[in-house]
Amino acid sequence: MAGYKIIFLCTLLSAVGPFCDGLNNGLALTPPMGWLAWERFRCNVDCKNDPHNCIGEVLFLEMAEKMASGGFRDAGYEYIILDDCWMNMTRDSNGFLIADPERFPSGIPFLSDYVCSYGELPRTHWLSYWNGKTKLN
């Protein structure tokens, strides 16, 4: 019985599909594409024992270079995403999150400027993840 349901659904979708069109406004012609550290490196913050595989400044500097030189931008990749495990274990005296000073010794603004120097994306996109309780040291 399940086989008939699948055949019916496929037939229905193939009949309706030609009548479905997206907006022809030039927006989102491709899905948003970028490099996300979490997918490969998870929350590895041990840069002393595993310097080439930890969430730190060196990793993101290397990825910016590889994306720029490896043709990823030309293929539609726009983002380098620093989503987790970047912060220090404690907040500053005002309660703001701050980057870990050992793993990001030059600070997040430096990292952002470096990534943007390759023409990867505007600074506003890079920093869009940060919220009002984050201090960019």
Cβ neighbors of 55 (< 8 A, separation 6 or more) are 37, 41, 43, 44, 45, 82, 84, 85, 86, 103
When pLDDT is cut at 50, 70 and 90, the band that residue 3 belongs to is low
pLDDT of residue 134: 53
**pLDDT (0 to 100) of residue 130:** 45
Give the closest residue to 113 by CA, choosing from 124, 103, 99: 124
- Output the pTM of the full model: 0.69
**Which pLDDT value is given to residue 12?**
52
Give me the pLDDT at residue 2, please: 65
Q: Are 36 and 42 in contact (CB under 8 A)?
A: no
